[in-house]
A and B are shown apart, each in its own frame.
Chain A
Amino acid sequence: MNADDIKIELEHLSMAYGPYVVMRDINARVNRGSIFVIMGESGSGKSTLLRTMIGLQSPGEGDILYDGQSFWGLDEEARRVQVRKFGVLFQSSALWSSMTLAENVELPLAQYTDWPQADRQEVVRLKLALVGLAGFEDYYPAEISGGMRKRAGLARAMALDPEILFFDEPSAGLDPVLSRNLDKLILELRDSLGATVVVVTHELASIFTIADDSIFLDAESKTVRVQGNPTELREHSPDLKIRTFLTRGEFSERGATP
């Protein structure tokens, strides 16, 4: 594979809270423009890995390469420039509660572009319209529903036209229809923006719908158990645990050799 096609590389990444090791020696590559899912059991360190990837928590060992360039080797100032290429949708949406939805989306634009205000507002309207929130510009986060907050968070994550979009449990707290719509939106945005997408989730329906590639973090061995396309893993993986996970346990109940 051409080296230019690799967007993200995880290299011997270890993560720890004090003496407690969460994950060790994680290696993976993410292709440009693909949707990459980080899956695993509860407590296996998925969110910790995401926090390390977006610069919120330094790794114990190892590094992450974006476009072949070290991320944790950068000094803090350079890392702050690098993270502007990211868009992150947090599990709790994490909208800034003292600002309206429009202000939430506009803030990054106001800080990092020198566009006139009229242009910025036009872009803000567009981003909110993309996630189906046209007309809600002047609402505060506390005044809208959880599903709408998620979408507003996504609009904000897209504010700076990011190269990589990160999602932390996007379907958490959403009903099945909303979460399906969010999946469609993720696919749509990837196809139109050409962004690389990294999703942390254990929602099977979503995994099979959106993922091009995935890794499975194993809480027991504390590292990556397998990397591959989830649909293929479900059908052909020799690993009992993976197939059990991807079939909600039905595979192991049927027996190891169906």
Chain B
Amino acid sequence: MTTTACIPNLAVERTSPGVLLARVSGNWRERATLPGVEPVRQVLREEPSVKSLEFDTAGLTGWDSRFVAFISQCAGMVRGRDIEVQYDGLPEGVRRLLRLAHAVPDKADAHRAIVKASFFRNVGERTIQGWEGILGLFTFLGQNLMALVNLLRGRAQFRWADAFQVMEQTGPQALGIVALINFLVGLILAFVGALELARFGASIYVADLVGIATVREMGCIMTGIILCGRTGAAFAAQLGTMKVNEEINALQTFGFSPIEFLVLPRMVALLLMMPFLCVFADLISIAGGYFVSVGMLDITSTEYVSRTIHAIQLKSFLLGIVKGTFFGFLVAYTGCLRGMQSGQTAAAVGQAATRAVVSGISAIVASDGIFAVLCNALRI
């Protein structure tokens, strides 16, 4: 086979009046670029009197789906004009594929209509969406509170076994990461404080700085954020997957409330575990500060401990625990909310986990700001 025989080629000729012959030759299989339909289109435009379109494929040595698509495109161009397409000259395989492709008529109403909505319509739709989102938040909150009330009245469809299992996952199993992060935060606080305070010869106040910052803010907020990434995402993914598997539907068909059955154990577990995790985080973080102060600054062990005890007031400590417990509530709430809102595909579950973390962290930081303002006003 010569090289020229391999090159895909298209020649359009008028063989007799009104008949257009597309002569296709060469190998249409292995080339990256093929002759397009342009030559055919051009001739059709120049010759309004064409009545018939024919193909000659005697020189065609190879073809694949692109060739079929090419023929289909040619046929599409003459649609609506009074031109007959003769498929006889095509290889048998191509003819059969074309017949198959045209067996089911194109469903015109199946094509998605791309409507460019007006600006006001977009704004309106977004507003309604946003409003429904907010409504959803409060509905879910209400359902959760009702479920908690039912639990206290002993009427909830609640399994302590589930709650204990979640407690184990969110409490003891999280100790490692909580310890690591909070120890490092304690270190960092001590370093930053030591550098500045040393300029005033007040290095001993590092203990105050670490102690107060930890119990009031850093302990609970860092633990909240860790749990959000670790547990909130897990909740969303678990509930989302249960939704995909129709497990939540199955609960409903037994008359079980998914909120009481799935959300409540998670909520209760976090509410019970968070205070302990917070105390643990406080101790570890102070240990981090101690490590820096005693190891690298000229502060004795006794001095550091007594300064710390002196600096930390009970109300600061309790404030941290209350905030931590509230952050635990937020983590469970956002994680479960996003999980229950998840769509029924794998991608939707991933999205639910992402949204759980994003909304959880935002809620924690925002509510911490509100706590700060309130504490300032109440002089706590």
A binds B: yes
Pairs A–B under 8 Å by Cβ, sample size 25: A54-B253, A56-B249, A56-B252, A80-B255, A83-B253, A83-B254, A84-B254, A90-B246, A90-B249, A90-B250, A91-B246, A92-B245, A92-B246, A95-B247, A95-B250, A96-B242, A96-B251, A97-B242, A97-B245, A107-B254, A111-B157, A111-B256, A112-B255, A156-B250, A160-B254
- For A55, list chain B residues within 8 Å (CB): 252-253
Which residues of chain A are near B253, meaning CB under 8 Å?
A: 54-56, 83, 86, 88
Nearest-neighbor residue (CB-CB) of B250 within chain A: A94
**Which of A88, A91, A96, A111 interacts with B247 by CB under 8 Å?**
A96
Q: Which residues of A have CB within 8 Å of B157?
A: 111
On A, residues with C-beta under 8 Å from B are 54-56, 80-81, 83-84, 86, 88, 90-92, 94-97, 107-108, 111-112, 156, 160
| Residue with the greatest number of chain B CB neighbours at <10 A, chosen from A54, A55, A80 | A80
Chain B residues with a Cβ closer than 8 Å to the other chain, count: 14
CB distance from B22 to the nearest CB of A (A): 36
How far in angstroms is the closest Cβ of chain A from B306?
49
Which B residues lie within 8 Å of A160 (CB)? 254
Residues of chain A with a CB closer than 8 A to B247's CB: 94-97
Contacts of B252 in A (CB 8 A): 55-56, 83
Q: Shortest beta-carbon distance, B97 to chain A, in Å?
A: 22
Tell me how far the C-beta of A107 lies from the nearest C-beta in chain B, rounded to whole angstroms.
8
Contact B250 A96 (CB under 8 A): yes
**Nearest chain-B residue to A87 (Cβ)?**
B253
Task: Give the shortest distance, in Å, between B356 (CB) and chain A (any CB).
Answer: 19
Q: Which A residue sits closest to B165, measured CB to CB?
A: A98
Kindly state the separation between the CA atoms of A112 and B157 in the bound complex, as whole angstroms: 10
How far is A95 from B245 in the complex, measured between Cα atoms in Å? 8
Known: A92-B245, A97-B242. Is A84-B255 also a contact (CB below 8 A)? Answer: yes
What is the minimal beta-carbon distance from B14 to any residue of chain A, in angstroms?
A: 43
List of B residues within 8 angstroms of A111 by Cβ: 157, 254, 256
Residues of A near B254 (CB, < 8 A) are 83-84, 107-108, 111, 160
Interchain CA distance A111-B255 in the complex, whole Å: 10
CA distance A212 to B144 in the complex (A): 45
Q: What residues on B are CB-neighbors of A54 within 8 Å? A: 253
Residue of chain A at shortest CB distance from B249: A56
Give Cα A108–Cα B261 distance, bound, in whole angstroms: 12
**Interchain CA distance A97-B252 in the complex, whole Å:** 16
8 A-B pairs closest in CB distance: A94-B246, A80-B255, A94-B250, A88-B253, A90-B246, A84-B255, A108-B254, A83-B255
